[in-house]
Amino acid sequence: VEKHRWWKESVVYQIYPASFFDTNGDGWGDVPGITKKLDYLKDLGVDIIWVSPIYKSPQADMGYDIADYEDIDPLYGTLADVDHMIKEIKARGMKLMMDLVVNHTSDQHAWFVDSRSSTTSSKRDWYIWKKPKFDADGNRHPPNNWAMLLGEANSAWTWDEKTQEYYLSLFTPEQPDLNWENPAVRSAVHDVLRFWLERGASGFRMDVINLISKVQSYPDAEVVLKSHKYQPGDKFFANGPRLHEYLQEMRKEVLSKYDTITVGEMPFVRDEDEIMRVVGAESGELNMIFAFDLVDIDNVPGDFKLSLHPWNIRDMKKIINRLQRLMVEREGWNSIFCENHDQPRSVSRYCDDSDEWREMGAKLLCLMQTTLAGTLYVYQGEELGMRNVPESWGPEEYKDIESINFWKKSNEMYPSNTEKLSLARKILQRKARDNARTPVQWDSSPHAGFTIATATPWMRVNDDYHSVNAAAQLASSKSSNDLSVHAFWKRGMANRKKHKDVFVYGDFELVDVESEHVFSYRRWNGKESWVVALNFSGENVEWEGLGGLKVQKWVAGNYDESGLGEKPTSGIVELRPWEGLLGICG
Ligand code: TEU
Ligand code: CA
């Protein structure tokens, strides 16, 4: 198998279009806004642009509810705007990756409108319809006890009054699940892929792609959350019996005919052999996946995602090591990411986002991500060290359906229970998807330059934009002793490419398994060997983890680099709070 592939070496930048850049003053970012910022992205070192959904959509889940796969939502522009954007992307030697959301459609999609019109509709079987269950008292119940994913206390089934059946809607009632058992559905999906590949897209990020095959008996899930009526059913709807068959068919029918990049978003997958069946070099189902281990690190095990669980750096090392091994030992491939539109900001989550430490933490995470094996994904604003929304914001500032449902349910379940409700607020503040969805902070003008001064952004701009914004970082000192977060990312990405044989393709090994503060590893190939040491704590650490390893020279770090020459190259190394170092071992 050919080891070197363009989609392994590329840096992918994710755009969440609503919050990227607004050109017409309606408060929503748009496609022309993406085109306007292409030079900014090219300059940063981006190769591939992944755009979250821009298709026609009622926006019940911010475009992850698609009403027409072959048209653009007027909020974002027109197909002509997309064609122009593609032309400009290609002119700069970059590529476009579309978001493929085909586990479900919008309830406004023509297929579903037809499907729900009658039990004899020719599209009835395109979705998952089931008869209700009745208990001894004659009360109607959903076919099983699965909980909905974006409104966790509710059922995953939605009742349809007209045809007197339930349909499966794993995310929200506005997102009915497609029935992949039906070959006509699969072939319609293949047509969607072809449509975008022919239009100039170079690949897809595939939304919850491991949910497309469900256990056909639709059994009840085990009761694990006693206080809840509905339970996590992922055992029966994730990584289902026909997943690999469907992915192989997609490869054979469509993908094999083009030179593409594919990444499958795969929640609920722990088993390494299962991952290898998808991303193994021989299997070739998908190029890579988004595994959830690192972003689930602070979830209460077995509980829903909006929960808080303490974690430590040893957990983080274990997770990263496990996923790196799939690449360096088993010829699989994977993605590197700490952020996306579903997760809080990484500097707030894994480091310290106070004014004192924000930049240091953001650079620490950059140093880590630019030196690990895998295809690197950067989320908009991550290159600026953007942080979570302020604690002072009330629940009314949260626009995400998941946050809204969570807050509503918390109030229903615990009315006027201040303790429970302040915990719910804290969970939202730390974990809500809204944290990543505030507009990108371009400069210090009103609304952070995201839209014109007189407009109202669809979501409130983070109050910190006077100090955290792109213009300030681009203007700041270019000396390597005082790099902005942006400049640090730009340099890190360039260094990764320059030494791709080691950082993209090289071997990986933990240098220090034990330390409770420091994550350190070695990357090497036949010619070069590098060491990375990352202090994931706000403390000064007398670090002994180098063991017998001898560093030839420390070459980069997130503190003033003029001091690198004085750092010890063996034995005990003192690491300051959130300090990260990159060294050559020869
Ligand atoms: O996310 C699916 C997913 O499993 C999550 O990351 C989800 O946000 C989380 O579990 C909620 O607790 C994808 C999209 O990225 C997300 O934005 C959509 O809402 C979802 O699918 C439905 O399309
Ligand atoms: Ca707009």
| CATH number, residue 565 | 2.60.40.1180
Considering the domain architecture, whether residues 284 and 318 belong to the same structural domain is answered as: yes
What is the model's pLDDT at position 586? Answer: 75
Considering the domain architecture, whether residues 187 and 125 belong to the same structural domain is answered as: no
101 touches ligand 1 (CB under 6 Å) = yes
Token pair 């807050």 is found at 407
Boundaries of domain holding 120: 110-168
Question: Mutation test of ligand 1: which of 59, 64, 101 has the most ligand atoms closer than 8 Å to its C-beta?
Answer: 64
Asked if residue 555 belongs to a domain, the reply is: yes
Active site annotation includes 207:
yes
Asked if residue 414 belongs to a domain, the reply is: no
Considering the domain architecture, whether residues 71 and 96 belong to the same structural domain is answered as: yes
Considering the domain architecture, whether residues 458 and 365 belong to the same structural domain is answered as: yes
Domain total in the chain: 3
Q: How remote is the CA of residue 60 from the centroid of ligand 2, in Å?
A: 18
Share of the chain above pLDDT 70, in %: 99
Asked if residue 348 belongs to a domain, the reply is: yes
Q: How remote is the CA of residue 77 from the centroid of ligand 2, in Å?
A: 8
Enter the DSSP assignment of 278: H
Considering the domain architecture, whether residues 94 and 115 belong to the same structural domain is answered as: no
Q: How remote is the CA of residue 342 from the centroid of ligand 1, in Å?
A: 6
DSSP characters for 370-394?
TTSSSEEEEETTGGGT--PPPTT--
Which ligand has its closest atom nearest to the C-alpha of 23?
2
Q: How remote is the CA of residue 498 from the centroid of ligand 1, in Å?
A: 34
Asked if residue 451 belongs to a domain, the reply is: yes
What is the model's pLDDT at position 396? Answer: 94
Determine the Cα–Cα distance for residues 492 and 45; give it in Å rounded to an integer.
Answer: 10
149 touches ligand 1 (CB under 6 Å) = yes
Considering the domain architecture, whether residues 456 and 534 belong to the same structural domain is answered as: no
305 touches ligand 1 (CB under 6 Å) = yes
- Helix residue spans in 468-576 (DSSP H): 470-475, 485-498, 500-503
What is the model's pLDDT at position 304? Answer: 78
Considering the domain architecture, whether residues 153 and 132 belong to the same structural domain is answered as: yes
Which ligand has its closest atom nearest to the C-alpha of 178?
1
Question: Mutation test of ligand 1: which of 207, 212, 430 has the most ligand atoms closer than 8 Å to its C-beta?
Answer: 207
Which ligand has its closest atom nearest to the C-alpha of 206?
1
Q: Encode pLDDT of 144-178 as tens digits.
A: 999 999 987 899 999 999 999 999 999 999 999 99
Considering the domain architecture, whether residues 97 and 162 belong to the same structural domain is answered as: no
Asked if residue 493 belongs to a domain, the reply is: no
Determine the Cα–Cα distance for residues 298 and 306; give it in Å rounded to an integer.
Answer: 9
Q: How remote is the CA of residue 150 from the centroid of ligand 1, in Å?
A: 8
| CATH number, residue 121 | 3.90.400.10
234 touches ligand 1 (CB under 6 Å) = no
434 touches ligand 1 (CB under 6 Å) = no
Cβ partners under 8 Å of residue 56, min gap 6: 66, 67, 68, 71, 72, 73, 74
Q: Encode pLDDT of 217-244 as tens digits.
A: 999 999 998 988 999 999 999 999 999 9
Query: Are the C-beta atoms of 551 and 584 separated by less than 8 Å?
Result: yes
- H or E segment to which residue 452 belongs: none
Choice among 265, 382, 383, 464 that is catalytic: 265
Determine the Cα–Cα distance for residues 376 and 8; give it in Å rounded to an integer.
Answer: 8
Ligand 1 nearest atom to the CA of residue 306, by list position: 12
Considering the domain architecture, whether residues 121 and 12 belong to the same structural domain is answered as: no
What is the model's pLDDT at position 431? Answer: 97
What is the model's pLDDT at position 482? Answer: 83
Question: Mutation test of ligand 1: which of 149, 263, 403, 437 has the most ligand atoms closer than 8 Å to its C-beta?
Answer: 149
Q: Cα–Cα distances in Å, from 506 out to 520, 525, 527?
A: 16, 5, 10
What is the model's pLDDT at position 477? Answer: 67
| CATH number, residue 190 | 3.20.20.80
Asked if residue 352 belongs to a domain, the reply is: yes
Determine the Cα–Cα distance for residues 99 and 63; give it in Å rounded to an integer.
Answer: 10
| Pairing state between β 48-51 and 11-15 | parallel
Interface predicted TM-score (ipTM) of this complex, two decimals: 0.96
- Say what the pTM is: 0.97
Which ligand has its closest atom nearest to the C-alpha of 74?
2
Considering the domain architecture, whether residues 19 and 135 belong to the same structural domain is answered as: no
Considering the domain architecture, whether residues 523 and 577 belong to the same structural domain is answered as: yes
Q: How remote is the CA of residue 171 from the centroid of ligand 1, in Å?
A: 8
Residue nearest to atom 11 of ligand 1 (CA): 150
pLDDT by residue, tens only, the chain of 586 residues: 568 999 999 999 999 999 999 999 999 999 999 999 999 999 999 999 999 999 999 999 999 999 999 999 999 999 999 999 999 999 999 999 999 999 999 999 999 999 999 999 999 999 999 999 999 999 999 999 999 999 878 999 999 999 999 999 999 999 999 999 999 999 999 999 999 999 999 999 999 999 999 999 999 999 998 988 999 999 999 999 999 999 999 999 999 999 999 999 999 998 999 999 999 988 889 999 999 999 999 998 877 788 899 999 999 999 999 999 999 999 899 999 999 999 999 999 999 999 999 999 999 999 999 999 999 999 999 999 999 999 999 999 999 999 999 999 999 989 999 999 999 999 999 999 999 999 999 999 999 999 999 999 999 999 999 999 999 999 986 666 789 999 999 999 999 999 999 999 999 999 999 999 999 999 999 999 999 999 999 999 999 999 999 999 999 999 999 999 999 999 999 999 999 999 999 7
Asked if residue 425 belongs to a domain, the reply is: no
Residue nearest to atom 18 of ligand 1 (CA): 64
Ligand 1 nearest atom to the CA of residue 64, by list position: 23
Q: How remote is the CA of residue 221 from the centroid of ligand 1, in Å?
A: 20
Asked if residue 91 belongs to a domain, the reply is: yes
Considering the domain architecture, whether residues 252 and 302 belong to the same structural domain is answered as: yes
12 touches ligand 1 (CB under 6 Å) = no
